[in-house]
Amino acid sequence: MRRGGRGLLPAVLAVAVALAPAACGAPREDGDAVRVGFSQLSAEGSWRAANTASVRAALTPEHGFDLRLSEDEQKQEGQVAALRRFIAEDVDVIAFSPVVEDGWDQVLREARDAGIPVVLVDRSITTALPDAYVTRIGADFRAEGRRAGRWVLRNAPGAEVFELQGTLGSGAQVGRQEGFDALVGDAVVGAATGGFTRAGGRDVTAAALEAWPGLDLVFAHNDDMALGAVEALRAAGRRPGVDVRVVSVDGTRDALRALAAGDLDLVVECDPQFGDQLARVLRRVAAGEDVPASTTVPGGVFDRSVTAEQVAARAY
């Protein structure tokens, strides 16, 4: 964590990737299960657990899939090794949720050379490799950051903001920060990563309160870190939602409950339950059909007007 003044990451440029319109997989015969190798990040928190559950529920043998799931512990090396295993198994499609944006070109070249189409799930990458992947399905992280920033602009002018960043270099961190900072970057007095976990959010917020005693708003890149920040605020004798406002992203049931209770101020929704949409995309890719370059999972915004029914109805 950098102290005093803005401690922001240098901007990471998101490179727009030219996408091949068509997948390269051969058309499949009716009745064949689509063999999908999926490298997931493993459960760093509630969002990820819900995402894995949604993908598992959609990619079943009954739905025509043979899913090989690899949970790769937030490690790029583990994900690269998983992708290489999938290439050796000659799966029909590789799907993966890249822990960070950079550093995939070599393994993606290997997949391309093997003729195996790749689908990005949730997070984005930056790459110089033409046709590195066929399509991505996931949220618009910049738009999420802008939604949070707009609320701060309108409701907390003059606030001193601490930005609790997700895993550094991940698409979710980079995009949310770019979107938020584009609107209210001048208000950000400091930033540090809590790694998208509750414990990380708690510890980093505790340190931030010492480094920037004047801070009165935390923008957390996900709910688990925001709930950790709430714990740290209480421990430091600061009332969350009153002395220090807290804005977050995801929309988990625990976060909506904290919002209803007045501990959080705004939760931007990022829906992890897109297994069915992913299944549709994977079927088309495996069949060699054209797919759009990206599928954006929509999301809304929750504020203090969230109802008990909405909280109870939350599936994750």
Q: Which residues of this chain interact with ligand GYE, rule CB under 6 A?
A: 44-45, 47-48, 122-123, 139, 172, 196, 222, 249-250, 270
The DSSP letter of residue 18 is: P
Cβ proximity to ligand GYE: between 270 and 286 the closer is 270
Our CB check for ligand GYE shows the closer of 46 and 127 to be 46
- Nearest approach in angstroms of CB 90 to ligand GYE is 28
CB-based burial of residue 188 (10 Å sphere; 0-12 exposed, 13-18 middle, 19+ buried)? buried
Contact 255/223 with Cβ under 8 angstroms? yes
Distances from the Cα of 222 to the Cα of 144, 145, 225, 271, angstroms:
11, 11, 6, 12
CB of 238 to ligand GYE, least distance (A): 24
Closer of 173 and 283 to ligand GYE (Cβ): 173
Taking a C-beta distance cutoff of 8 angstroms, is the pair 123, 148 a contact?
Answer: no
CB of 165 to ligand GYE, least distance (A): 12
Query: Smallest distance, Å, CB 192 to ligand GYE?
Result: 16
Cα dist. 122→237, 296, 300 in Å?
37, 9, 17
Closer residue to ligand GYE (CB): 139 or 191: 139
Select 122 or 163, whichever has its Cβ closest to ligand GYE: 122
Phi, psi of 13, rounded to the nearest 5 degrees: -80, 125
Distance CA 274, CA 280 (A): 10
Query: Least distance from C-beta 75 to ligand GYE, angstroms?
Result: 14
- Measured at the CA of 246, the angle between CA 240 and CA 250, to 5 degrees, comes to 130
65 forms bridges with which residues in the sheet?
34
Minimum CB separation of residue 177 from ligand GYE in Å reads 13
* Nearest residue (CB) to ligand GYE, 17 versus 249: 249
